[in-house]
Each structure stands twice: as structure tokens, then as C-alpha cells.
Amino acid sequence: MTDTTRPAWPYTVFADQLRTELARHHDDRMAYDHGRGTGTSVVTDIAADARQRMALSESIVERLNQVLDGERVRLAFGDEHTPSSEEGIRALATDIIGIYADLVSWGRMTLGCRVEERYSLLYRALANLVRSPLQSIEDFTEDVTERATTLDQELSAGQPPSVTFSLTLRLTIDDLDLAAYNEALREVTPQRRRWFRRR
């Protein structure tokens, strides 16, 4: 049961919920890291399938804007006019990790695609595009936990807080991962033959 008499309880609840939800997906994350895919989808139209998978991953990432909507955050954590809502805070944390879970699932499903050998490197590079967003959510969880712990200790002791609480989270593809994907895509994309006229 949450001790709502502690002044930093909204932050510790948020951190606890993030860690709890993240732990549920530890095994899938490890499987993704070790290249173990799921599913047995046979892909024949490589270009179309890659575009669809890219679009799906982007739609998963874009959900973060809805999850961290300013009004939703205000209603969860409260302000001078609105009390904090434990249910809202836990739902917020759960939805953030829901994005994480869907990205892991996307990555493993991409790894599990059955393609011709010459396309296998492309699909590994495609699956790698979510490595940075996953790491960002893990880092966010760690940062929130550290800040919540510090705030709880300081406020409970009647001390002024030495840290602020931040919900800043950006999910972006790593430049090197994107470059590797584009290079793999060039390797399997038919090049147009160029004809040169003799002078």
C-alpha cells in the first residue's frame, strides 16, 4: 500500500511502476539482444515489407506523444488545484513501458522473418533500428528512479530538493544504426544501368 503521507510519493510510485513493468519484459529484451526472433513470416516483397515495418515502428514511437500529453501528466501528478492520482500515475508508467514492449516485439518479429540469405543482413539492420529507443526508455527509468529516491529522502528529511523531476523522453534512431540499415538496403537494391553514348 502506498504511503501517501510521504511528500515524494507520486514520484516513487511512478518509478516503482516503471521498474515493475520493465522487469516483465526482461527475457524478451535479452532474446532480442541475442538475435532470437519470433514468428515465421515468409517475405517475398522485400521493399514493401520493409516499408510497412518501418511505418509500424514509427507509429509505435509516435504513441509517446499521446502517453505524455501535458494534460494527462497534469491530471496524474496533480498541481495546486488537482491532487495527485496514484491510478493515473501507474497508468502513465504502464503505457510508457507498453511502447517499450511493442518495440521489443517488433524487433523480434523482424528478426524472425524468413527471407532469402542475401536479405538477412538487411533485416538484422532493420531490427537494430529500435535499439536506441529501447535504451532510451531504460535510461529514462533509471534516471526517474534516481531522482525519485533523492527527492523522497530529501523531502522526508525536510530538506530543500537538490534535483528536479523530469518527464523528458525522446525516442530517436541512432545515426549509426540508420546508416547501417541504409547501407544494407543499397546492397540489395537493384541499381539502374547507366548507358553512355560514345562521342
Confidence of residue 122 (pLDDT cuts 50, 70, 90): very high
Residue 197 has pLDDT above 60, yes or no: no
Distance CA 123, CA 136 (A): 22
Helix (H) or strand (E) holding 182: helix 175-188
Nearest one of 193, 173, 176 to 184, comparing CA atoms: 176
Which domains are delineated in the chain?
9-188 (1.20.1420)
Distance CA 120, CA 147 (A): 42
pTM (predicted TM-score): 0.91
- Give the lowest-confidence range in 9-18, 135-144, 152-161, 185-194: 185-194
pLDDT of 195: 47
Nearest one of 69, 50, 135, 125 to 100, comparing CA atoms: 135
Report residue 42: phi and psi, to 5°: -95, 120
Confidence of residue 198 (pLDDT cuts 50, 70, 90): very low
Residues in CB range of 12: below 8 A, 6 or more apart: 6, 148, 149, 152
Higher per-residue pLDDT: 184 or 192: 184
Query: Which triple of cell numbers denotes residue 89?
Result: 500515475
Residue 191 has pLDDT above 90, yes or no: no
Instruction: Calculate Rg over the CA atoms of the chain.
Output: 22
Percent of the chain with pLDDT over 90: 83
What is the average pLDDT across 117-122?
Answer: 93
Query: Which triple of cell numbers denotes residue 8?
Result: 515524494
What is the per-residue DSSP string for 42-88? Answer: B-S-HHHHHHHHHHHHHHHHHHHHHHT-HHHHHHHH--SSS---HHH
Query: Which triple of cell numbers denotes residue 74?
Result: 497534469
Tens of pLDDT, residue by residue over 28-82, are 999 999 999 997 789 989 989 998 999 999 999 999 999 999 999 999 999 989 9
Helix (H) or strand (E) holding 118: none
